[in-house]
Amino acid sequence: MIKQLEQLEMLIGKPVQIDVSLAKYTTFKIGGPAKYFFIAQDNEDLVRAMTFAKKLKIPGCVLGGASNVLISDQGFAGLIIINQAKDIVLKKDNRVVADAGVNLMTLVNKTAEDGLIGLEWAAGIPGTVGGAVRGNAGAYGGQMSDNLIGVEVMRGSKQFILDKKNCGFGYRDSVFKHNNDLIISAEFQLQKGDKAQIQARIKEILAQRQAKQPLEYPSAGSVFTNVLIGSHNQDLLKKVPNLPKEYLEYEKIPAAWLIEQLDLKGKTIGGAQISNKHANFIVNIKDASANDVIQLISLVKMKVRDTYGIELMEEIEYIGF
């Protein structure tokens, strides 16, 4: 292991840590150790770390804010790269290029400060641009793909820009969830707007989050995706006869609503609890293990399937399982 560590450090050109507990890096405050651990300060670090991990056949995993992941109690038997590359470049015609490691809220505040409209919806999402592009993060009527023009990626050993039309964006989905592309940066097309109005909208969204979400506890946000009601699955409605009309217009059945119907709010296993405030959040109320969370997830999925015949899908991603 020492030899492999030395090789990795030599190739990256910077120190790599070993056996680092990942719990303190995740918003869930859960997760065992990374065998190797490296914080990328810029895109060069990021690309080098990923390239040389591959070369040495060490499994590599990039994390941004680690705000959408559940990391196993056994940790990750490879190299975890925390991406903190943070350049934001304002270009002409209200375009902005942000490194994947840029904190989303920093980007929201920076573009608001420059009187640019388009990213207000993302206020309060704790991750980075890279994680948000991969999951096509969304909230309050917006989603990452809305203002995006292109994504700079590394695929294999090649680096290039993928146009939005080739990013396969869908509801909490993108091509990046299905391949191993490393997201390096993303370019957005924003519009000029009124700075005071943009900042008021951000304030409003942050207040709504505060009111609706259990932000006082560690979590990974919504655990499950909402259930899409499309023309192809109208029989879904027969499975949920008491569905409120507003969800028909929204064309989604909120996972939180399904979980509430089953009286699962407050259900606790070990240190993990289905939030009393927002049923789609599992919160870490006291030293929860990943195993506690997994058991709650299994319980919810089983009950929703048994009662409604609906298969809930995880929005959070599993690492090290």
Among 71, 102, 183, 229, binds ligand FAD (CB under 6 A): 183
CB 143 within 8 A of CB 188: no
Tell me if residue 185 is catalytic. Answer: no
The nearest distance, CB 218 to ligand FAD, in angstroms, is 8
Query: Is residue 137 at the binding interface for ligand FAD, with CB under 6 A as the rule?
Result: yes
Interior angle at CA 66, CA 61 and CA 67, nearest 5:
145
Q: For residue 79, what are its two tokens?
A: 């190299």
- Say how many Å lie between the first and final Cα of the chain, rounded: 22
For residue 178, give Cα distances in angstroms to 31, 134, 241.
23, 9, 34
Q: Using the rule CB under 6 A, give the single segment among 72-80, 89-97, 212-220, 287-295 that binds ligand FAD.
A: 212-220
Query: Is residue 274 at the binding interface for ligand FAD, with CB under 6 A as the rule?
Result: no
The nearest distance, CB 183 to ligand FAD, in angstroms, is 3
- Residue 224-263 contact track with ligand FAD, rule CB under 6 A, x = bound: ----------------------------------------
Q: Using the rule CB under 6 A, give the single segment among 217-225, 268-276, 289-297, 303-311 that binds ligand FAD.
A: 217-225
Query: What part of residues 161-180 is at the interface with ligand FAD (CB under 6 A)?
Result: 176
CB 192 within 8 A of CB 260: no
Tell me if residue 174 is catalytic. Answer: no
- Residue 10-39 contact track with ligand FAD, rule CB under 6 A, x = bound: -----------------x------------
Among 132, 148, 274, 293, binds ligand FAD (CB under 6 A): 132
CA distance 108 to 125: 10
Radius of gyration of the chain (CA): 20
CA distance 160 to 166: 12
CA distance 296 to 302: 10
Task: Look at residues 146, 207, 136 and name the one whose alpha carbon lies nearest to residue 177.
Answer: 136
196: Cβ contacts below 8 Å, ≥ 6 apart: none
Among 72, 145, 219, 273, binds ligand FAD (CB under 6 A): 219
Residue indicated by tokens 């195993």: 291
Query: Which of these is catalytic: 172, 187, 219, 289?
Result: 172
Query: Is residue 69 at the binding interface for ligand FAD, with CB under 6 A as the rule?
Result: yes
Binding site for ligand FAD (CB under 6 A): 27, 61-69, 83, 100, 125-128, 130-132, 134-135, 137-139, 176, 182-183, 213, 215, 219-221, 317
